[in-house]
Chains A and B, each alone.
Chain A
Amino acid sequence: MPAVRADKLYKIFGRRPTRAVELLADGRHRDEITSLNVTAAVIDVSFEVEPGEIFVVMGLSGSGKSTLIRMLNGLLPHTSGSVEIEGTDITKLGKSELRKLRSEKVSMVFQHFALFPHRSVLDNAAYGLEVRGVARDERDAKAREALAMVGLDGWEHKVPGQLSGGMQQRVGLARALAADTDIILMDEAFSALDPLIRRDMQTQLLELQASLGKTIIFITHDLNEAMRLGHRICVLRDGRVAQIGTAEEILNDPANDYVANFVEDVDRTRVLTASSVMEAPIPVVDPGQGPRAALRTMRDNQTPSAFVVRRDRTLVGAVNENAIGEAVRDNVKALDGLVDSLERVTPDTPVAEMFAQAAESSYPLAVVDDEERLVGVIPRGTLLAALATPNGDDNETGEEPSRGEVGESGTTDDTAGTAEQPHEDAAQSQPDPGGDAQATEGSRQ
């Protein structure tokens, strides 16, 4: 059962909403029905949000996203359609049932924080529980816990006015967390914060979501934010859904020109992660094998280096052709002492954060999971290829590399060369010693 489900949802402000819904359902644009003197804020919006998902609704101002989010918890009545929260159709609920649902299942974080200036930080955080009628001791304990989660322990007895904007929004987040609802609605929650704080908050939100598994519906007008946070993104345009999909789907396969225009300026390096650009780690050798066997493996694969991986896939390091060659000549029996360490990244690391590491090592980057198991590798050429826009002039070269599928090294290089907007970091990483480039290319099949 989806946590939240919206089905053919409409919100029309004005006197003749029914007629407007009929016209809009026929596919008319909202500007065509201005004669009815109505404002269509949300038109035919349907989506499902799975439990534990971060679902981002993205659109410019006036696209109806704030109206939409307020219909999801019944703050605004709907005109037509239905909203289901954990299977209950909230459009059919009475006023007090709706209040109960809000206090128990759906909490909200606001753009301008909406903290109560006359209450202490602790009382603000405990508000949801207070409304629910939880006893003082218990709600204070839970509020303290929530404040600690957002890193605000020790600030309980301040008032919101004494806190910076970022801290105030942490209180707003703590208030939603303390209410202990499964679903949290966030209405442009980070838009009023300055960029650095906003990044911190995004990171924190991702961490909290990973540990608590809340279902989060996040509204934003900032595409980079949407791409960073959202498991799936719903792009709204003039009240209608333009596209719903993962960040990569939207980036690589925009449904129409509007979305394409929208994503044009996105910093792809922040959206694409290691897991989406990495390649299969080939070749691998076991640490128990001798230099001779390792050299054969490299020859067979025609690569200048190989990854040393234990049976359980945990990564030890890498060996290169020159060192192994010498060892074979000197008749060394074991690989010990020949293995170089590798730069490691996790599958979630954005491409943007990998350039510096890629520049430091002559080996490809190793992508390892939480248990240090090797899941993939990223040669430098692949990293650059990821920067290419998929629907640039040259479609053939555009699509493949960013998918992380192993392509011909020649093709990849081409793409990297013709990348329309090389990222600054990428430009810096290019002037490297020539030998490295050879190693990189070589590690591709």
Chain B
Amino acid sequence: MSPVSYAVPVPRIPVGESFDSAINWLRINFEVVFDFIGMVIQICVDNLFSLLAETSATQFTLAAAGVVGVGLLARKRYAPTLIAVAIWAGFYVAELSAGLAASVIASLPAPLFVWAMNLFGSSYVYPPLVLALLLFAALVALSFIVTRDRGQQIIAAASAASLLAVLALHFIVGVQLSLIVGALLAVLAYFIAGWGVALFSVLGFLLIISMESWSNAMSSLALILVATLVAVAVSVPIGVLAAQSRKVSTVIKPVLDFMQTLPAFVYLLPAIAFFSIGTVPGVIATVIFSMPPGVRLTELGIRQVDKELVEAGEAFGAPDFQILRRIQIPLALATIMAGINQIIMLSLSMVVIAGMVGAGGLGNDVYTGIAQGDVPVGFEGGIAVVILAIFLDRLTGAVTRFSPAARAQRASA
């Protein structure tokens, strides 16, 4: 008789295998969906990167038009602003699809445009730029015609001046784009977060430029911004749902825990399976990793809104959605912004892991540093990540100041 064995036979549950086959099944059956998502993300990241690192004159002009347009909208001049933008968009789409704008512009007496184009070294009229310039001019004109608001006029004049200065500096004098974009980001920081952050941005960006990491930094920034956008777009609605319903909340909670604690490398596996190597799996992994605090803080923020205020809304007969939009979300905005801030911070911490799947950018620098023992490259990449992190953190932290609740709180303090 053989000695009695006390080992209890534990059957092996094929967890990993079923996960793998589930992924395969999904990939085969929903390939189109994943391809589409991947394409959209790729286009977003590429465009954002080109906007940040290879800015064209058109993009500068549109950015300036954006500033003036937002100013107009903030002063409630909706109709003329939107009409101008709509006309521009119409022409732009027509131009893209049929070259319509080009023919319209070509039919105009064009020597003026041609002279302007010559300045930028183009020998022909580039329609999108002309359209953008016309839109900008229209918005500036609107600022002076439909508003008597001094502030708006100053904004319009200042944008026109800085647009001219930027175009002249880069396209005529030949100053590097990195310096100009860095300076513009610093100006943005000044208006949103004050001179301290602006000063930090100037010094930090100069350091990044001098480390020759600017292009990589912008690539990472583009990835982070897209990932943040997706994460916010997904997490805030989920958070709102979870705040409204206890059931959703109890279901969501373990899922969030799972997403936060599962090692990031593990969900790189399906991400690569679905989207192959490159920027997209980096974005997807970043979104999954950074989403939970967005959901949690949105839920918390909305739950923290005084019950009596919600009841007041109900007592006056407001529908649920209106209570959400006009009472709960404005009052929870500070907490929701804290969540968005957390999303951005977590996205930054994923940069390196995204670099491992070929997302490029600063993560790639760090990964190269580790893989090849190249300390200088790795360290410089890391420092650049920190500078970006502080810049984004202070910026999103300061945005909260503009919420109506925060404004009211300041007024009453």
- Chain A contacts to B: CB under 8 angstroms: 73, 75, 96, 99-104, 106-108, 110-112, 114-119, 127-128, 131-132, 158-162, 175, 179, 185
With A102-B316, A159-B411, A179-B316 known as contacts, the answer to whether A118 contacts B405 (CB < 8 A) is yes
Contact B317 A131 (CB under 8 A): yes
- Would A108 and B312 count as touching, CB distance under 8 A? yes
- Per CB-CB distance, the 5 closest pairs between chain A and chain B, nearest first, are A161-B412, A103-B317, A102-B317, A114-B312, A108-B315
Q: Is the CB of B311 within 8 A of A118?
A: no
Q: Assess the A101–B317 pair: CB atoms within 8 A.
A: yes
A117 touching B331, Cβ below 8 Å: yes
The A/B interface has a contact count, at CB < 8 Å, of 81
CB <8 Å contact, B309 and A128 = no
- Give complex CA distance A179, B38 in Å: 52
The answer to whether B317 touches A118 (Cβ under 8 A) is no
Total contacting residues, chain B, CB less than 8 A: 25
| Contact yes or no, B411 A103, CB < 8 A | no
A159 B412 Cβ-Cβ under 8 A: yes
Say yes or no: A161-B316 contact (C-beta < 8 A), given A110-B311, A117-B405. Answer: no
Q: Does B330 contact A (CB under 8 A)?
A: yes
Q: Contact: B322 with A118, CB < 8 Å?
A: no
**Residues 382-413 of chain B: 1 if any A CB is under 8 Å from the residue's CB, otherwise 0?**
00000000000000000000011101110111
| B residues in contact with A179, CB < 8 Å | 316
- Chain B, residue nearest A110 (CB): B308
**CB of B318 within 8 Å of the partner chain:** yes
User: Complex formed: what's the CA distance from A111 to B306 in Å?
Assistant: 13
**Cβ of B327 under 8 Å from chain A:** yes
B407 to chain A, nearest CB (A): 8
- A131 and B318 contact, CB distance less than 8 A: yes
| Structural contact, A110 and B312, CB atoms closer than 8 A | yes
Bound complex: CA A31 to CA B171 (Å): 85
**Which residues of chain B are near A106, meaning CB under 8 Å?**
315
Q: How far is the CA of A75 from the CA of B408 in the complex (A)?
A: 28
Q: Is B314 an interface residue (CB 8 A)?
A: yes
User: Which residues of B does A touch, CB under 8 Å?
Assistant: 306, 308-309, 311-319, 322, 327, 330-331, 403-405, 407-409, 411-413
**27 A–B contact pairs at CB < 8 A?**
A75-B314, A75-B315, A101-B317, A102-B315, A103-B316, A104-B317, A108-B316, A110-B311, A110-B312, A112-B306, A116-B309, A116-B312, A116-B331, A117-B331, A117-B405, A118-B331, A118-B403, A118-B404, A118-B405, A118-B407, A119-B404, A127-B312, A127-B316, A132-B317, A162-B411, A175-B316, A185-B315
For B317, the chain A residues whose CB sits under 8 A away are 99-104, 128, 131-132
Q: Is the CB of A99 within 8 A of B331?
A: no
User: Which of B308, B319, B408 interacts with A118 by CB under 8 Å?
Assistant: B408
B412's partner among A108, A116, A127, A162 (CB-CB below 8 A) is A162
Chain B nearest CB: distance from A173 CB in Å? 13
Chain A nearest CB from B320 CB (Å) reads 9
Does A114 contact B412, Cβ atoms closer than 8 Å? Answer: no
Given contacts A73-B315, A114-B312, whether A131 and B412 have CB atoms under 8 Å apart is no
Contacts of B318 in A (CB 8 A): 99, 103, 131
A176 vs B318: C-alpha distance when bound (angstroms): 14
- Given A103-B316, A127-B316, A128-B316, the answer on whether A116 and B327 have CB atoms closer than 8 Å is yes
Our pick among B314, B331, B404, B409 for the contact of A161 (Cβ within 8 Å) is B409
Residues of B within 8 A of A108 (CB): 312, 315-316
Q: Chain B residues near A107: list those with CB within 8 A.
A: 315-316
Contact status B316-A131, CB under 8 Å: yes
Given known A101-B317, A128-B316, A161-B412, contact A112–B308 (CB-CB < 8 A): yes
Note all chain B residues with C-beta closer than 8 A to A118: 330-331, 403-405, 407-408
Select the residue from A101, A111, A118 with max chain B CB neighbours within 10 A. A118
Contact with B411, one of A99, A100, A111, A158 (Cβ below 8 angstroms): A158
Q: Is the CB of A131 within 8 A of B322?
A: yes
Q: B308 contacts which of A114, A127, A131 (Cβ < 8 Å)? A: A114
* CA gap between A117 and B408 in the complex, in Å: 7
Given A103-B316, A107-B315, A108-B312, 19 more pairs with CB closer than 8 A: A75-B314, A75-B315, A99-B319, A101-B317, A103-B317, A107-B316, A110-B312, A111-B308, A116-B309, A117-B331, A117-B412, A118-B408, A131-B322, A159-B408, A159-B412, A160-B412, A161-B408, A161-B412, A179-B316
Across-interface contacts of A128 in B (CB, < 8 A): 316-317
Which B residue sits closest to A102, measured CB to CB? B317
Residues of B within 8 A of A110 (CB): 308, 311-312, 315
